[in-house]
Structure 1
Amino acid sequence: MKLPDFEAWAIFAAVVEHRSFSAAAEALAVSKATVSKAISRLETRLGTSLFHRTSRRLTLTDSGRALADHAQRILSEGEAAEEAAFESASAPVGLVRLAAPLTFGIQAVAPALADFMALHPGIKVDLRLSDAFVDIVGEGIDIALRIAELPDSSLRARRLGPVTGHIVAAPAYWDRAGRPRHPADLATHACFVYTNTATPDVWRFRRAGGEEAAVRIDGPIRTDNGDAMLPALRAGLGVARLPDFLVAQDLAAGRLEAVLADWAAGASGLHLLTPPGTLRPARVEALIDFLSDRLRKICGEAHL
């Protein structure tokens, strides 16, 4: 039996991550010709093209997209095996790519990283903050934090704690438009739409005892970031469904008022996600353990 071309698989994973032969060659400290030959070897062996190549753009074929997961796993597990061999002789070192939601990342993740890096000076962190969906495998992300109820996938997920949602508006808005007594009443209100969900125009609720409700909403603002809603909310221009960590200070100060307290509004969880595979580099394991411990405490203390 002929052994797999592990070098070519690892180079393929690097090209997928860096999105060009040149960038992959630079990251791997090899020549562009070495990268090109490795991809050609792999394509010949597999009998299929992995990339569409033009003078300006490199994109994955359907076959390449289907195999990218496997390539990333081969590269990650190879790195993890080497690190495990050296782990007893030295502290974890190297780069960890971490993705997190924008506001939560600034409020909770960035302070945690400051403490983590003081403990592990040999580890570097590439922190990417965005509320947009992140393709963990395609973008070479080692760890991703997501606030959502997760669909089934091949990713490894660890739930760190609950995230509480609130239906909020300025007291002046509620005085003018009326306070809803049931989620269905929100259909007539000016509701701001957060677009980074599977069904942004539908808000779902659950009440103790199992009663559920869903309401189609609409309003003057659609955005992919909850922070962007706050000025208009404080100005009394509408209603939003936002997590506790975004609105806690405004609620405490009386700038915003929550309604429908007996209904769970968009309750979800904070999850830590990693690519498929059982082996991870020691540097990634170290950050996973640290974030899991720190963020579980934050969820428990703050009831996010």
Structure 2
Amino acid sequence: MLSEPDLNRIELFLAVAEAGGFTAAAERMGIAKAGLSQQIAKLEAELGTALFVRTTRRVTLTEAGETLFRDAAPLIQSLRESIDRLNEEVAAPSGTLRITAPADHAATVLAPALAAFGERYPDLQIDLLATDQVLDLVRERVDVAIRMGWLRDSSLRATQLARFEQYAVASPAYLARHGLPRHPRDLATHRWVVLSLLAAPLTWRFTHGDGEDCTVRLHAAMRTSTPLSALALVQHGAGIAVLDESTVRAGLVSGDLVRLVPAWALPSGGIYAVYPDSRHVPAKVRAFIGFFREWLEALPHSGVDAEK
């Protein structure tokens, strides 16, 4: 019965096979050629077969050697990668973390999270690109992008960090002039501030708790390109808008905004971390994704509704 081969010798065998000879493999690994040859001889004895044909000019694989190389190489490579990932996990993130996010989200949500993240990892330099443009992550050398809403299919990898609700909101002054809507269909007669960056900003589907749906088509009194500018317009009485809960949270708590038809829900959206598809996700990216997910989970929800 053959003895179980030493895995270290399997690694040496792969090095010789990849280098095409004992001399080149020994130089690459920083060991003596004679010692390497002895280890390969012991491996052949353990396996009971020759792995190389040695001549004065070259070293070639035998049929058994070719079989072992074909089967063992991907397994050893997978083991190396697993060890590399483990080493990355225990190492503190360092270098530069380049992040992009929509300008409003970067200012109101991401910035305080990054401040705390930077305190945890002081050796990490953070480069924040706050822009509403969808950047090419590879070309712009971006490590991770924060995307809001609904993702399109792409070759990038994506991790959902959180979900957010959307609310129809108005100011008390606007409602005093135009009345409080009691049903989603009442919204069609009101003035609306719409976000031009949305695919269909004038059509919204509301769902009641009992399962009833109501689709409303609206009239735009004003258009704007960012949630914060829409918020400012609504707070000054320009009309009603659909905005994400983080944008309207403070206004709902203070009473500067009123959530409309609270028994009816709008489609929720997602907050995603998007990053280039690669075999190894850098430790700095994994650390940030885990940190930001926990940060988002700890954020309070408004829970403030208009009176029914």
TM-score by length of 2: 0.64
Structure 1 residues 137 and 260: CA distance shift in structure 2, 3 A: farther
Tell me if structure 2 keeps the 8 A contact 1:192–1:222. Answer: yes
Structure 1 residues 218 and 160: CA distance shift in structure 2, 3 A: same
Read off the aligned partner of 2:289 and give its amino acid letter: I
Partner of 1:35: none
Pick the structure with greater CA Rg: 2
Structure 1 residues 182 and 134: CA distance shift in structure 2, 3 A: farther
Runs of 4+ in 1 over 6 A off after TM superposition: none
Partner of 2:57: none
| RMSD of aligned alpha carbons | 2.8
Give 1:165 shift: 1.4
**For 1:171-219, what per-residue CA distance to the aligned partner results, in whole angstroms no more than 9, with x for missing partners?**
2222322222332322221111112222222223222243333222232
Structure 1 residues 135 and 288: CA distance shift in structure 2, 3 A: same
| Structure 1 portions without partners, runs of 5+ | 1-79
TM-score by length of 1: 0.64
Partner of 1:36: none
Tell me if structure 1 keeps the 8 A contact 2:194–2:241. Answer: yes
Tell me if structure 1 keeps the 8 A contact 2:168–2:243. Answer: yes
Distance in structure 2 (CA, Å) of the matches to 1:152 and 1:209: 32
Read off the aligned partner of 2:264 and give its amino acid letter: W
Partner of 2:199: 198
Distance in structure 1 (CA, Å) of the matches to 2:181 and 2:89: 61
Partner of 1:136: 137
Partner of 1:262: 263
Distance in structure 2 (CA, Å) of the matches to 1:280 and 1:152: 20
Distance in structure 1 (CA, Å) of the matches to 2:261 and 2:90: 57
Tell me if structure 1 keeps the 8 A contact 2:147–2:272. Answer: yes
Query: Is it true that 1:173 corresponds to 2:177 in the alignment?
Result: no
**Map 1:103-114 → 2, pairs under 5 A:** 103-114=104-115
Report the count of equivalent residues: 223
% identity of equivalent residues: 36
Give 1:252 shift: 2.1
Give 1:286 shift: 2.0
Partner of 1:249: 250
Distance in structure 2 (CA, Å) of the matches to 1:248 and 1:120: 30
Distance in structure 2 (CA, Å) of the matches to 1:184 and 1:166: 15
